[in-house]
Amino acid sequence: MCVQKILNNITCKEYCSTHNFKYSPIKEAHPQRVYIPNYINEISTTNSIYVNFPEIYVAELNNVKLIGGNYIIFDDNNYCIYDLPFMDSENKFDLRCHQTIAVNKNNTVVCYNETGETIEEGIMLISGSSYNYSHFQFEVLAKLCLINDTNEYNDMPIIIDDACLRVPQFQEELQMLNKQGRKIIPLAIGYSYSIKKLIVISDLGVYPCNIKPDFLLKYQDVALDDLAVKPINKNLAIESSNVHRKLYVSRSQSPNSRLQNQPAVENIFRSFGFEIIFPGSMSFHDQLKTFSEAEVIAGESGSGLTNIIFANKNAKVIFIQPKVIQSPWYSNISGVLGLKTYFLDGYLYGNSRLPYYQNGFIVDENYLKDFLYRLNLSN
C-alpha cells in the first residue's frame, strides 16, 4: 500500500538546531573550484571558476525515516530534511527521484511503501543514484572514507541501498573501504524504515539529478569538493611502476551509450594502439590495476571513466563530450587529481524527446584522427 505525504523542507542544520541534535561542522563553507573542460580547438585562459560550496558536516538525528533509493530524510511531524532545494537559487533543478515525486523549495511530495521495520542505529549511505558507479563513488564511498577518518562511529553499522549489494564490483570496493568491518544494513528501494539514531554526512558534491525543461545546465551547477575525490584515490589507488597502456573505455555494451558512431571511433583508437576495455565486465581489483598502468585513458563521458580516480598522476585523459553540454563532472574529477585532460567536441544527434544533455552525439572522425596525431599517439 502506497503512503503519500506532503513534507515541509528544512535544512539539516536548522532541524538540528530546532531539535537540539548534534551537528558537527567538518569543513566551513568555502569557494570551490569548478574545472572547465579544456576543449582542444579553443585558446582560453579561463580553465576554472569558483562557486560557493556549503558547509560540510556530520549530524546525529533521532527518530527519523529513510526510503531506500532516495535522498531525503523525514519524520512523523512531516519535516523533510533535504539541503539541496535550498541551494537552487534559480529554481532550475528537477529533484524528482523514485519515490520523491515532486520537490520545490518549500515542500517535497513522496509516495512510498511502509515496512514497519525499525533500525536501532546506522550511518546513512543511501542515495537516489547509488546504483550508478560514478554516484556510488561520491555519494556512498567518499562519505564512508570521511566517516572512517572521524573515529567516532567505528562500531556503527552502515545503511546501504540493496541495489549496491547486487553488483559484485560494488561489493568488492565496499569491502575494501569497510576497514572497521561494520555491519551492513540494506534498504529496499521504495520502502520506508524508521531509524532511532541516524548519522548523516552532508553531500560532498552539489549537483542536480536533472534540469527542468527550458533551463540549461551550466558549469557552475556541478561542484565536487576535494573530499569527494581525494580520499578514495588515497585509500585505493595503486602505485604502479609499469605505466604503458593506452585505454579506450567502451560503452558499446551499455544500453545508455550515446556516441552514435561508436564502432568507427573505437576502430580509430584501436589503430593508434589503444586497448578497448569494458570496465563493467571487470572485477574491481582488475579495474584498479588496469587504470594504474594507463599512460592514456580515453572514452565518451560515462561511468566507466570515473575510474580515472585510480589513474597514476601522470596519465593523460581524453574525454569525448559535446561542448554544448556544460557538464564539468569529469573535468572536476581530473582537475582535483591534477591529471592532464583534453576534451573533444561533438554534435548532438539523437532522440529529441530526451533532455538535450542525454541525447546521442557524434564526434567527427577526421577531427579525432588529427588530434591523436598531434598528441603523438600513433602506434
325-366 pLDDT tens trace: 999 999 999 999 999 999 999 998 866 677 888 888 999 999
Using CA atoms, how far apart are residues 33 and 335, in angstroms rounded to an integer?
9
Task: Please provide residue 226's backbone torsions phi and psi, each rounded to the nearest 5 degrees.
Answer: -55, -30
Q: Show me where the domains of the chain are located.
A: 2-206, 237-374
Lowest mean pLDDT among 16-30, 37-51, 106-120, 232-246: 37-51
Supply the pLDDT for residue 113.
96
CATH of domain 237-374: 3.40.50
The dihedral over CA atoms of 89, 94, 96, 101, expressed in degrees to the nearest 10, equals 90
Task: Please provide residue 376's backbone torsions phi and psi, each rounded to the nearest 5 degrees.
Answer: 60, 50
Q: What is the average per-residue pLDDT within 226-233?
A: 97
Average pLDDT, the chain: 93
pLDDT for residue 29 is more than 60: yes
Q: Residue length, the chain?
A: 379
**For residue 203, which of 154, 130, 295 has the smallest C-alpha distance?**
130
The answer to whether 10 and 50 are in contact (CB under 8 A) is no
The dihedral over CA atoms of 134, 136, 138, 139, expressed in degrees to the nearest 10, equals 140
**For residue 71, which of 139, 156, 152, 171 has the smallest C-alpha distance?**
139
Supply the pLDDT for residue 45.
46
The dihedral over CA atoms of 291, 253, 41, 367, expressed in degrees to the nearest 10, equals 120
The answer to whether 188 and 154 are in contact (CB under 8 A) is no
pLDDT-derived band at 187, boundaries 50, 70, 90:
very high
Strands 2-10 and 79-81: parallel
Predicted TM-score (pTM) of the model is 0.94
DSSP secondary structure letter of residue 139: I
Q: Calculate the CA 346 to chain-centre distance.
A: 23
**For residue 164, which of 151, 177, 150 has the smallest C-alpha distance?**
177
Residue 65 CA: distances (Å) to CA of 17, 24, 98, 171 = 19, 21, 16, 25
Amino acid identity for residue 297 in this structure: I
Cell triple for residue 157?
Answer: 553499522
**For residue 125, which of 111, 100, 106, 146 has the smallest C-alpha distance?**
146
